[in-house]
Structure 1
Amino acid sequence: MLIVFWCIEYGSIVRTAPDEVHVSDPKAIPIIYPTQQPLKKTDWYLTYRPVTLGPGPDLFTDDDEKHHAAHRRIVGPVYTLSSMLKNERALDDLVKLFGDKLGGFADCQDAFDFGLWLEMFSFDVVGAVFFGSPFGFLETSSDYGNYIAAVHTALPLNSVVAMAPLWIRRYLLQVGVMIPKVLKAIIATDGVRKTAVRETGVAQERTSNANANRTDVLSQLLSIMREKNDCLTIKEIHVEMWAAVIAGSDSTSGALRAIFYFLMKHPDKLAKLVQQIDTAYLDGTITHPVQYNQATKMPYLRAVIQESLRLCPPFAVPMARYVPVGGLQLLGHHIPAAFKVGMNAMVTQFDETVFGKDAREFRPERWLEGEERFRLMEKAMLVFGAGTRTCIGRHLSNAEMYKLVPHILHHFTVEMAHDGPWKTHNATFLLQSNVICKVKRRSVENRPL
């Protein structure tokens, strides 16, 4: 990534355009992303707004801080950890199904695209937790609705369009429609919109029964709409569901790919984690199926997840904000009003003053060097955003990681099917490919599938 080398060459504040600066120093996080009087998001976000669902934004693209805060207060309770864990049984079922599918590959000893299967798992989790039932990626062993192909084609297009001046973006999209692959992605992405609208209608009929007691996100949002009348509209619920499908899968699957990839490339770390997991099963620290509140008590698992997210954050672009009237004092520099200023997790999370001289290396042990050091590093992490705009879906993402990783590593030996590296492509989300693997069943006590 070019900005990494610029920061090494020119320092922690780099002017990347006439009216834009990039900052790498973690000390700037509370200045650029404060919890009080937050800076306004730039027009970069507008490209990702779901205009086909109506004029309103989703939480990610909302550039009106007051509207964002008000809307988040309404829907926020649905996204809390306790609310997400009401759906833990559905996660258990999908973790088991994923293990069953890997068992098929283990039995025939075929190499397979592990990264793709992790993405199918994440999409099905979104279906189960948000809509009330999995989409069917794992069950059918296929790209349901062509969603994955659509997102992977649409993201690079959007990432290019988002960097262009606002006035020319519409024309770039019109030109893009002439490209068959892009047109196909647009049609498939519209299928996501139709799914959001259709499933919301189905859920409305389902939850009209006063005795209905469902815990999926859609049902809970519809309940809020009925109880609070004008505080939440049906179109806003459509947008919530659309955003969950588009953003909720690539982010978590990217994190899962990173976790398994780094472990496979560092056999000593993998062996250490597997030993902790096996011991935890034997002494009853974790059970079958793995529960989230059990898995989070394994220190080395937490360290591996943190380190993987540090080295390969799923969201890898500057989270740009407009400098307010009067300018901004930033690390000894004055940034003029109306400038764009932002930070990129792919740069900040490599800061040697916080993470050490070996910041570019995969070393989970750095997260086990005392609680004070852990908190210092955690404050420098931008994986789930910062300030008032932290990712509202982070609890579900964490639940997926903490539940799936120990289950798979306890039941299977996972290894790369080739000696080459993976391939990464930054298209707003950091997309990885070439994670082609083979798996073998492990003979371990106390391991019922």
Structure 2
Amino acid sequence: MESRLEPLDPSDHSSTYTGAAGLFIRQHWLILGPLLLLLNAIRTRYLSPLRRYPGPFLASTTRLWKVLSTASRKTHLHHIALHRRYGPVVRIAPNEVSIASPEAARTVLSAGKRFYKTAFYAVFPPPENPDIFTEVDEEAHARKKKVANVPYSMAAMQQLGPFIDDTIDLLAAKLAGFATKRVECKARGSVDLGAWLHYFAFDVLGEVAFSRSFGFLAEGRDVEDAIATIDRSQAYNGIVGQVPWVDRLLRRNPLWKLVPTLDTRNAPITRIALSELERRRPFEKESEGKLRNDDGRQDLLASLIKGHLETPEKFSEGDVFAVAHGAIFAGSDSTASTMQSLFWHVLSSPQAHAKLVQEISGAVMSGALPPAGNISWKEAQELSYFQACLKEAMRVRPAVGLNITRVVPPEGAELDGRFFPGGTQVAVNGWVLHRDKRIFGLDADEFRPERWLVDVEEAKRMERYMFQASSPAQLLR
């Protein structure tokens, strides 16, 4: 009998090859895994358009360097050291560079230049209702900023000045009590001034945002661990923000909310903001900015509610909550940090302290300042050395130590004479920018308030390149 050969079925070969490949991978995965990681590291380091820029080896192959640097809480110092070692442009991640040029930073952060925010910002709470700082959608950001600009304006802030006088008086009384030993201090005989300034910042923002103090100064403690909760949240935001996809496995994971201590809705500031919203209902009663206590002031929340009532389709109730929440969440930390920097530098410099005391005493003697009580914002503006100390404190120690990162437009962009392809992430760090010797002088590392008083035009030039996030206007970026 004659045998016949059946035609070969191509699918049989495919199945055979697939099976063989699967078997090979299973048998050699201990070798193949590291090999693939090595090949990917070589690709990202040597084949990337950013390969020409120097930086740590680990940073050019993975975002792990950024995670570790942020987790150390010294990333601002790391970036200063990197730029001094490598120059004005440093590669700090496979697709990210840090730039030290203040001129380039202005371009990156300017509105209308189409350098959009990265996914880093989406990690910050509340994720379902981003505030102005965390909003990555440019159109939504513009809508929210338009409404929030009203209560954050200098005119609005000055109107609220008299309502925080009691808080200022309480802080002064507490510090005077420590100084005269009327209040028993800790066993070591010292007082944590930084903590008391943080309590003060919280209570002031409570008055500005919700027309009530949170009671931090009165109780002399971190009420409901609100500050500690924000610190923990900010640590999470900073670290996980370097690898945003991890957030979906953690805080955005539905299982996360099953643990009460982890659910962000249970955070003190979130609960306070939500309770204040409920207290103002029905919102129509806020249309004239008069609160239930009938003192006639228009606080931040009242102004935001008015904005919502005027254009509910553009500024939702969720936006009201998000902006009010963000004012306390981010504002308390940056405000406290700025005050801490001012006090630390002035008290650490006998010369600066003596000059400041002399200026204030002279103003009282001349009648420019009242001999007792609080002074107004306008009166403070006339204290030139005090203003110089404040600017210098914000320059030397910006409130935010993390990078501010933007994405280069699709067509690419030229920054400081260098072309960066579209999609590149460009980071700027205030601690680096404020130490540019071309802008701030050869002694840019030093706290020297006098640099702001030498020449008016030079002072304007320096102020143009200040990138601190220590004011409401800065927080609206």
Q: Which TM-score bucket, shorter chain as reference?
A: 0.7 to 0.9
For 1:42, the equivalent position in structure 2 comes to 118
For 1:66, the equivalent position in structure 2 comes to 139
Superposition deviation, residue 142 in structure 1: 2.0
1:136 aligns with 2:219: no
Q: 1:229 to 1:25 in 2, by over 3 A?
A: closer
Residues 202 and 216 of structure 2 are in contact (CA less than 8 Å); yes or no, is this contact kept in structure 1? yes
Superposition deviation, residue 188 in structure 1: 8.6
1:18 aligns with 2:97: no
For 1:422, the equivalent position in structure 2 comes to none
In the aligned structure 2, how far is the partner of 1:347 from the partner of 1:57?
28
In the aligned structure 1, how far is the partner of 2:410 from the partner of 2:434?
29
For 1:294, the equivalent position in structure 2 comes to 379
Q: 2:390 aligns with which of 305, 313, 332?
A: 305
For 1:333, the equivalent position in structure 2 comes to 418
Q: 1:224 to 1:142 in 2, by over 3 A?
A: same
For 1:46-445, what aligned pairs fall within 5 Å after superposition?
46-51=122-127, 55-108=128-181, 110=185, 111-164=190-243, 166-173=244-251, 184=261, 190-205=267-282, 208=285, 212=290, 213-287=296-370, 288-384=373-469, 390-392=474-476
Superposition deviation, residue 131 in structure 1: 0.3
What do the CA deviations read for 1:198-247 (whole angstroms, capped 9, x no partner)? 11111235862777343111112222323334332221111112111211
**What SS class does the counterpart of residue 57 from structure 1 fall into?**
coil
Residues 214 and 220 of structure 1 are in contact (CA less than 8 Å); yes or no, is this contact kept in structure 2? no
Residues 38 and 65 of structure 1 are in contact (CA less than 8 Å); yes or no, is this contact kept in structure 2? no
Structure 2 length as normaliser, TM-score?
0.76
What letter is aligned with 2:214?
F
In the aligned structure 2, how far is the partner of 1:188 from the partner of 1:233?
19
Q: 1:214 to 1:370 in 2, by over 3 A?
A: same
Q: 1:112 to 1:183 in 2, by over 3 A?
A: farther
Superposition deviation, residue 75 in structure 1: 2.5
What count of residue pairs does the alignment treat as equivalent? 384
Residues 14 and 21 of structure 1 are in contact (CA less than 8 Å); yes or no, is this contact kept in structure 2? yes
In the aligned structure 1, how far is the partner of 2:81 from the partner of 2:268?
40
Superposition deviation, residue 25 in structure 1: 1.2
What letter is aligned with 1:29?
A
What letter is aligned with 1:146?
D
Q: 1:183 to 1:280 in 2, by over 3 A?
A: farther
**What SS class does the counterpart of residue 342 from structure 1 fall into?**
strand
Q: 1:318 to 1:209 in 2, by over 3 A?
A: closer
What do the CA deviations read for 1:269-299 (whole angstroms, capped 9, x no partner)? 1010011011112222223321011101111
What do the CA deviations read for 1:13-58 (whole angstroms, capped 9, x no partner)? 111112101001112123212232331001111111312xxx2311
**What SS class does the counterpart of residue 38 from structure 1 fall into?**
coil
What letter is aligned with 1:149?
A
For 1:404, the equivalent position in structure 2 comes to none
What letter is aligned with 2:448?
R
Superposition deviation, residue 159 in structure 1: 1.3
In the aligned structure 1, how far is the partner of 2:448 from the partner of 2:157?
30
In the aligned structure 1, how far is the partner of 2:399 from the partner of 2:264?
25
Q: 1:226 to 1:316 in 2, by over 3 A?
A: same
Residues 300 and 364 of structure 1 are in contact (CA less than 8 Å); yes or no, is this contact kept in structure 2? yes
What letter is aligned with 1:348?
L
What letter is aligned with 1:249?
S
In the aligned structure 1, how far is the partner of 2:84 from the partner of 2:286?
60
**What SS class does the counterpart of residue 232 from structure 1 fall into?**
coil
Residues 161 and 173 of structure 1 are in contact (CA less than 8 Å); yes or no, is this contact kept in structure 2? no
Q: Which has the higher contact order (CA 8 A, sep 6+)?
A: 1
Residues 318 and 343 of structure 1 are in contact (CA less than 8 Å); yes or no, is this contact kept in structure 2? yes
Residues 106 and 465 of structure 2 are in contact (CA less than 8 Å); yes or no, is this contact kept in structure 1? no
Superposition deviation, residue 381 in structure 1: 0.9
What letter is aligned with 2:110?
P
**What SS class does the counterpart of residue 119 from structure 1 fall into?**
helix
Answer 1 or 2: which has greater strand percent: 1
What letter is aligned with 1:267?
P
CA RMSD of aligned residues (A): 2.5
Runs of 4+ in 1 over 4 A off after TM superposition: 172-175, 182-189
Superposition deviation, residue 183 in structure 1: 7.6
Residues 401 and 430 of structure 2 are in contact (CA less than 8 Å); yes or no, is this contact kept in structure 1? yes
In the aligned structure 1, how far is the partner of 2:154 from the partner of 2:351?
32
**What SS class does the counterpart of residue 113 from structure 2 fall into?**
coil
Superposition deviation, residue 391 in structure 1: 2.1
Unaligned runs of at least 5 residues, structure 2: 1-76, 291-295
In the aligned structure 1, how far is the partner of 2:365 from the partner of 2:261?
50
Superposition deviation, residue 64 in structure 1: 1.4
* % identical equivalent positions: 30
**What SS class does the counterpart of residue 108 from structure 1 fall into?**
coil
Q: 1:209 to 1:117 in 2, by over 3 A?
A: closer
For 2:45, the equivalent position in structure 1 comes to none
Structure 1 length as normaliser, TM-score?
0.80
In the aligned structure 2, how far is the partner of 1:254 from the partner of 1:189?
25
Residues 6 and 14 of structure 1 are in contact (CA less than 8 Å); yes or no, is this contact kept in structure 2? yes
In the aligned structure 2, how far is the partner of 1:185 from the partner of 1:153?
11
Q: 1:342 to 1:193 in 2, by over 3 A?
A: same
What do the CA deviations read for 1:127-158 (whole angstroms, capped 9, x no partner)? 00100111111122221221011112222122
In the aligned structure 1, how far is the partner of 2:339 from the partner of 2:438?
27
Q: 1:313 to 1:217 in 2, by over 3 A?
A: same
Residues 150 and 184 of structure 1 are in contact (CA less than 8 Å); yes or no, is this contact kept in structure 2? no
